[in-house]
Amino acid sequence: MARVKSSTAALALGLLLMTLVGGCYGKLEFGYYKKRCSKVDAEAIVYSVVKKHFDEDKDTVADLIRLQFHDCFVRGCDASILLEGQGTEKTAPPNLSVRGFDIVEEAKVALDRRCPGVVSCADIIVLAARDATYLGGAYWYNVETGRKDGRISKASEALQLLPKPSIPVPQAVQLFAKHGLNTEDFVYLLGCHTVGTSHCNNFQDRLYNFHNTGKSDPAMSNGLLKSLKKTCPRNTVSNNEAFLDQTKGSEFVMDNVFFKKIMKGEGILEVDQQLAIHPWTKDIVRRAAEDNSIFPTKIGPAMRKLALVGVNTNGEVRLGTCKKVRYYY
């Protein structure tokens, strides 16, 4: 299935070279803004903005989940991906297809209209991703807030630290472990590929020249191979996209169908397919595929743990916009 609208590509493929700041995230609180925006419910405002966009476009789920991943991958969860300007993270090739910036900005404007300079853009990203995960069909989960916004954003760092869809499972698992995320967290975070899409360039080698063999990836089912070759013709540079979950009616739902598909050789990205094959992850995939309740239950805690990576609790809260740095005292 090809799509014209650019949406999401690879989601959680690794947390590279980030620091899990235990001493800092200890300062976060559940309901942090209840004491600081006493006249308004900050989390409810974010939810209302996300819900409006979700009602208009179900792709909002994948967009906001991916936005959190791509922010936290580089310098931790500090909203550095939102900053605009020459050479910022937003301009890096892996981030050119990231969406959801407008939703976060809309929420920031709404919040600063009623509680100016208090709610950080970094927290808005985390809250919006939580709301999107829930609206997509997963169970609700609470998140700590109190993050501050970063002031540094470099495209070169995003290009270096955002991993490729072909990252080997052992390498990805080891990287996750360095940052407090275990193998199950890794599998469930990649399970977010049950929503969203990926461009041809992320998997075209699997169709025609897998690992420079001149052949297709033998782990891919014949049916999927045939379908994807229509979407991504040989020797072409295509902007076409394919749903990461090819099940009609399930493309925007946070369910376990993704796990069922990869067990049948129907994973779009190489790392997705390897989840169902590698001995470190295949049993987790099998259990998630067999029990419909596991993924909707487990993805929330995994997303919450991701949101604690590289947290900054000392610094600024941007004022009026998430696009520019500005100190607030």
Active site residue 70: yes
Across the beta sheet with 241-243, what order do the strands follow? 2-3, 241-243, 197-199
281 marked ligand binding residue: no
Distance of CA 249 to the CA centre of its chain: 21
Catalytic residue among 70, 179, 199, 211: 70
E-only strand ranges, the chain: 2-3, 29-30, 144-145, 197-199, 241-243
Residue with tokens 């050789």: 265
- Is 63 a known ligand-binding residue? no
325 annotated as belonging to a binding site for a ligand: no
Tell me whether residue 194 is annotated as binding.
yes
The reply to whether 74 sits in an annotated binding site is yes
CA–CA gap between residue 177 and residue 134 (Å, rounded) = 26
Cα separation, 55 vs 50, whole angstroms: 9
Q: Is 245 annotated as a binding residue?
A: yes
How far apart CA 324 and CA 41 sit, in angstroms, is 25
Question: Token digits for 49?
Answer: 């903005």
Q: For residue 320, which of 126, 113, 80, 83 has the smallest C-alpha distance?
A: 113
Phi then psi dihedrals of residue 149, to 5 deg: -95, 140
Contact 95, 83 (CB under 8 A): no
According to DSSP, residue 279 is labeled: T
80 is in an annotated binding site: yes
205 marked among binding-site residues: no
Question: In terms of Cα–Cα distance, which of 118, 124, 144 is closest to 25?
Answer: 144
Residues marked as binding?
Answer: 71, 74, 76, 78, 80, 89, 163, 193-194, 245, 255
Residues marked as binding for heme b?
Answer: 193
Residues marked as binding for substrate?
Answer: 163
Which residues carry out catalysis? 70
Residues marked as binding for Ca(2+)?
Answer: 71, 74, 76, 78, 80, 89, 194, 245, 255
